[in-house]
Structure 1
Amino acid sequence: MAGCRLCPRNCGVDRRAGQSGICGVSGTGISAARAALHMWEEPCISGESGSGAVFFSGCPLRCVYCQNYHIARAETGKEITRERLTDIFLELQDQGAANINLVTPTHYTPEIIWAVREAKNRGLEVPIVYNCSGYEKVETLRLLEGIVDIYLTDFKYMEEDIAARYSHAPDYPQVAKAALAEMARQIEVRAAGDGNQETWAGFDEKGMMQYGIIVRHLLLPNHLENAKKVVRYIHETYGDKVYLSLMNQYTPLPQVKDIPELNRCVTEEEYEELVDYALETGVEEGFVQEGETAKESFIPSFDCEGI
């Protein structure tokens, strides 16, 4: 925590001394805003029992349209120790969680690694899901080899100007490409050890993912071409070894009222065109959303439940 460089921002701040970087957090503790069964992930993650989602406070990317805006800016959350985080993992497993889902975990990577190892020593058996923005540092991801079973990662931008405008990260495309390559390397090794070189994904008898990669893309209004570029890159690079999840649930929250191009929901026509493009490109393994998903019901209450 002294000279923190866990994420691509490389702030170098001394979190032990109370300094905070772009992620918005400081200190050596962990701030989290919710730990509960979460039913709104992809079917092979949530299933019928729910994913054991731990929502961490703060975020290195901090997109202007963030659907979890207040926790991303570390405005809500409760500070806990790594020992308490270990207990939370085990409590979620006892509640029937299909997995432990680490939401926006990057800036707490060392503490999470410690807590996962300790929890496994105490009987944690469900898979570990690393649910991130895709803006990840390869060196940090390497620390997670053998810790993380499933990478549930965004791939937001293929266009640098959009990444700069909405996430203040013009390097997002190149960083996300390198990060995904490292995730793929780890999962390919895992699959090979399982004798499963062809698909890179493992499922139990209920169809719940045990290891693998799901790449999410949240379609933004007026940015269909960027979305198509993401789909094309993912499929041309990884084929169906990586599952693609195309999301239409974008919700325009108050913070985008002065950004006209983002201040509306995605139209049915925009989303259908993206899904059609994915099918035409050859995507066979993945997920789409149906119905009116752009509702705030997808955004849970960050009231420190389970923390």
Structure 2
Amino acid sequence: MKQLEHCMLCPRACGVNRITGNTGACHTDAQMRVARAALHFWEEPCISGQEGSGAIFFTGCALGCVFCQNTDISRGQAGKTVTVEQLARICLNLQAQGANNINLVTAGHYLLAVAEALKLAKVQGLQIPVVYNSSGYEKPESLCLLDGLVDIYLPDMKYMDADLAKKYSHAGDYPEVAKIALAEMVRQCPEAEFDERGLMKKGVIVRHLLLPGHVKDSKAVLNYLYTTYRDQIFISIMSQYTPMPQIAACPELNRRVTRREYNRLLDFAMELGIENGFFQEGDPVGESFIPAFNGEGITE
């Protein structure tokens, strides 16, 4: 873990000495923290299935979107410290509960420890696929630590407009960084594979969350994804945006996505020819599911 003495794991490259207890742009020090590890049923159908995805929610996040729904953990306020050995046991426990996969949610700032835990868990009997669930704001050289350990990449592609990325995620470099990161993910998992139940075993699913008032940028995201990768990846178009209390600083985001906005984006996706994709049925103004980050499933 010597790399954490001058941490450059994420694109923020803040160089903080996390080993001495300092916190980086990710709001965490060197100790790995997990806020929840339990079966999760609200991912894409080929991820959750009927039995659920074994979702492990990590504390901290390097991106810091103003509209974040999980601020309790993304800002480092919740979670329990776990060792590499404990994380391996958590993975095995979720497998024993019938999880369809291990779903690592926002683990980028712990990649050194996570990679070691996955190696250990696989030696100890972990056989289900491993999903890397990410904001998309990743360094490709850090993702290389996961090569051969992760089966499914589940990143966001939030923006194509650098000004929006700067305003809403304090990361004007997000579009270019996310493009390069996605290319590395596709290099590692170039072909989608499914089992007889329709559950994904390998591949890449890119998520895009439509923000209120920003159909134009969302169209640009879909256009980039499809023209670059065609049917090599799956695209998940989400309408579940939920305005949170902290969004008051951005009043234009202080509303839900309308059915008309979402339908315009879906129509565009059809015009592009996107077939390998997911969309959300029902009323897009419904509440998103936010789990309780109460330490469930974290073994001693």
If the length of structure 1 is used for normalisation, what is the TM-score? 0.95
1:23 equivalent to 2:26? Answer yes
Query: CA 1:112 to 1:294, structure 2 compared with 1: closer, same or farther past 3 Å?
Result: farther
SS of residue in 1 equivalent to 2:5: coil
Match of 2:10 among 7, 11, 21: 7
Partner amino acid, structure 2, of 1:135: Y
RMSD between superposed Cα atoms in Å: 0.9
Deviation at 1:57, TM superposition (A): 0.4
Within 5 Å, give how 1:144-223 maps onto structure 2.
144-188=146-190, 200-223=191-214
Provide, for residues 283-302 of structure 1, a one-character-per-residue CA deviation record: whole Å limited to 9, x for no partner: 01100001135444511111
SS of residue in 1 equivalent to 2:163: helix
Within 5 Å, give how 1:24-63 maps onto structure 2.
24-27=27-30, 29-63=31-65
Residues 257, 284 of structure 2: 8 Å contact kept: no
Match of 2:263 among 269, 272, 281: 272
Deviation at 1:259, TM superposition (A): 1.5
1: CA distance, partners of 2:228 / 2:141? 21
2: CA distance, partners of 1:16 / 1:107? 13
Partner amino acid, structure 1, of 2:164: I
1: CA distance, partners of 2:256 / 2:294? 26
SS of residue in 1 equivalent to 2:249: coil
Partner amino acid, structure 2, of 1:176: A
| Equivalence for 2:225 | 234
Q: Which moved more, 1:295-304 or 1:225-234?
A: 295-304
Residues 138, 181 of structure 2: 8 Å contact kept: yes
| Equivalence for 2:253 | 262
1: CA distance, partners of 2:271 / 2:227? 13
Deviation at 1:257, TM superposition (A): 2.2
If the length of structure 2 is used for normalisation, what is the TM-score? 0.97
Partner amino acid, structure 2, of 1:20: T
| Equivalence for 1:67 | 69
Query: CA 1:294 to 1:79, structure 2 compared with 1: closer, same or farther past 3 Å?
Result: farther
SS of residue in 1 equivalent to 2:184: helix
SS of residue in 2 equivalent to 1:155: coil
Provide, for residues 231-271 of structure 1, a one-character-per-residue CA deviation record: whole Å limited to 9, x for no partner: 00000000011100000000001010231111011000000
Residues 259, 283 of structure 2: 8 Å contact kept: no
Contiguous gaps of at least 5 residues in structure 1: 189-199
1: CA distance, partners of 2:214 / 2:121? 42
Provide, for residues 168-209 of structure 1, a one-character-per-residue CA deviation record: whole Å limited to 9, x for no partner: 100001001100111111112xxxxxxxxxxx1000110100
| Equivalence for 2:281 | 290
Deviation at 1:142, TM superposition (A): 1.2
Match of 1:112 among 92, 111, 114: 114
| Equivalence for 2:237 | 246
Partner amino acid, structure 1, of 2:25: I
Identity over the aligned pairs, expressed in percent? 57
2: CA distance, partners of 1:156 / 1:290? 21
SS of residue in 2 equivalent to 1:143: helix
